[in-house]
Structure formats: C-alpha cells, structure tokens
Structure 1
Amino acid sequence: MSDAVLSIRPATPGDVSLILQLIHELAEYEQLADTVKATADSLHLQLFGQRPVAEVLIGEVDGAAAGFALFFHNFSTFTGKRGLYLEDIFVRPAFRGAGLGKQLMAALARIAVQRDCARFEWSVLDWNTPSIAFYRSLGAIGMDEWTVQRLEGAALHALAARDEL
C-alpha cells in the first residue's frame, strides 16, 4: 500500500450509515460489540443536528472508506482553554500499515492547533498494546496517575434523582 492515496475529509450527513458501520467494527475489535446503542438517527442528531456535539473525520485509502476519528471539545479550567478529545479512532484491518492512522492523528492535531486548544487527549484500553505503542511513537504520554470514572444507567439516574443538597 505504499503507493496508496490517503485522504482525510470531514464527515457529512450522508456518511451517517458509514460512521455507524465503522463504530460497530471498532466495537467488535475492542470486544465491546454488545455495548453499541448508537443508531443512525441518534448519530445524525448528535453530529449534524441543530447543536452538534461531536465531529467526525473520514479516512480514505484510494477513495475507499478505511477509517474514522470522532472527536469533540472539552474544557480545561487550569489552562482556561478548550481541548480536543478524541473519543474514537479506527482503521479497518485491511488498511492498517498504510499510514492512515498517523494521518488522522495529524489532522486532529492540526485542528487542535488551529482552534487554539490547550491539549489533545484520548483514552486507550489497557490491553491494547499495539495502539499504545502507536500513540507513544507519536509522542503521546500516558496519564497513569489519572483513573477514568463513569456513571451510567441506574447509577446515573439514581444520582440525578437525589434532591438533597
């Protein structure tokens, strides 16, 4: 694939089905296929509705959809600036090794710089050593002193229902 033509473009509403398909492929790779709840309608609303909350880049190899990166902005109170948070990046196995992952990461870094973001962050599963090695090769550092916390489902609703101050 050394002569392959790589391209990165912003997703359009016509890409929603492709994005959903890539999400399912990513979930399969991460052994989380049974956790995907996204639908074409929910993605369309959240990515292209009246108040989009995330953006997607589509990576192509020789014009074929080969991967994606879904990202959004967060905010750092310490820097007083927004950051760019990469929720998911995925390159289909048949296209790995062509440099598309690096191109997607570089495109995201350019967006972060152009938008005056203080940082560009993401999470990676502990067992995913190929991805960790890839990120380290780009200069990323692990934030080992931080542990992700999450509320969802019943616990989220129970906390939301609490009314005592």
Structure 2
Amino acid sequence: MTSTPHVRRARPEDLRRIAELAAEHAAYEQAVPPPGDLAERLAVLLFDGPSPRLRCFVADPDPDPDPDPGSDPGSGSGSGSGSGAPIGYATCAPELSTWDGAEYLHLDCLFLRDGHRGHGLGALLMDAVLGEARALGLAQVQWQTPPWNTDAIRFYDRLGGRATTRQRYSLPSA
C-alpha cells in the first residue's frame, strides 16, 4: 500500500531532523547555519511549559499507519510513529501588531527539501499554519521571503498572499 505524505504537529522525536532541515534551509538561503544545539533549543520552545509559544508542523513522507480515530489530526497523537523522517517543516508563533492593535500568527519558516517541492506539501504546511491561526482566534498570518526566491514568491502569490515591501534588520543585543 502506498502512503501519502501528510502534515502533522512536530513531536519530540522529530527535533533532530527538524534541526537538520533548518540547517538545509539556512544553506539554501545562504545564511549563517543554526547553532549546533538547535534541537535542544527547539525542545524548550516547542514542548516545555504549559503553553509553548512556538508551533511546528512537519511534512511526513510516511504517515502514521494506524492513527487513533479520536485524535486531533494535527496533533500527531496517532498510535503509530510514522517510519519516515520529516521532509519539510513550518514554524510559527503569535506576534503583536501595534498598528492593528491585534495579534497575528508569524510564519517564521516554511521549508521543503529539494525534490519534494511542487507536490502540494507546501500548501498543506500553509493549511496547518492557517488552521493554527484560526484555532488561536487570530485573523491573519504574516511572513517574509527573500526577494531572490522567485519560486517561493510564485507559491505565496498562488495561495493569495499579498506582499509588502520592507527591509528586515537585526541587531545583536550583546
């Protein structure tokens, strides 16, 4: 039986693979690689405390063979573990907009490994993020992509995203 890749919430056992995917993502964007302890840092942000701020969804090439029929489909709480390593991820967290006087969901990263793009998994990851925004009662998702990433821009345009022009800055605090 052929399984169809699907999107689910990340689980603690996915952290090593998510860190690997983040390193691939950084290389793809010609950015500084993530820290070596990224999996441990993500564990704190995703799973520690009663209400972690960061949310992560993964594209799983081999979904749970025997999911619990009463479980939340996005929760990853099926009885099987899925035998494939995630091939993509999306992370998001609530943020504040002073101008709107409201929260929105910030899509921090959306990445699929080369060879897995163009097969509908990006749209499934975005659907999971939009579902999270709705579940949190947030009316909007915002994100950014590098201006040279024309494939991502076409993808986001096809989804109905609207681009704004801004420069992103960062400044070390130490």
TM-score range relative to shorter protein: 0.7 to 0.9
| Residue in structure 1 matched with residue 75 of structure 2 by the alignment | none
Q: Distance in 1 between matches of 2:62 and 2:15?
A: 20
Map of 1:25-104 to 2, 5 A cutoff? 25-32=24-31, 34-37=32-35, 39=37, 40-50=39-49, 52-63=52-63, 64=84, 65-104=86-125
Q: Within 5 Å, which residues of 2 pair with 1:1-12?
A: 5-12=4-11
Count the aligned residue pairs. 150
Q: What TM-score do the two structures reach when normalised by structure 1?
A: 0.82
Does the CA-based 8 Å contact 1:4-1:98 persist in structure 2? no
Give the alignment's Cα RMSD to 1 decimal.
1.9
1:148 aligns with 2:146: no
Amino acid at match of 1:37: P
**Cα distance in 1, alignment partners of residues 14 and 61 from structure 2:** 16
- CA offsets 1:38-86 (integer angstroms, 9 cap, x no match): 5122221222122633111011234432210011110223433321111
In the TM superposition, structure 1's runs of 4+ consecutive aligned residues that sit over 2 Å from their partners are: 50-53, 61-64, 76-81, 146-149
Match of 2:151 among 111, 119, 130: 130
SS of the counterpart of 1:93? coil
Note closer, same or farther for the CA distance 1:57–1:103 as it changes in structure 2 (3 Å cut): same
Percent identical residues: 31
Structure with higher Rg: it is 1
Per-residue CA shift, 1:100-157, capped at 9, x if unaligned? 001111111122122221310111011111101110111111111x3323222xxx23
CA distance in 2, matches of 1:43, 1:96: 24
| Distance 1:38-1:135 versus aligned 2 partners, 3 A rule | farther
Structure 1 unpaired stretches of 5+: 158-165
Structure 2 gap ranges (5+): 64-83
Q: Which structure shows the higher helix fraction?
A: 1
Distance in 2 (CA, whole Å) between partners of 1:111 and 1:47 is 14
Change (3 A) 1:142 1:38: farther
Look up the match of 1:163. Answer: none
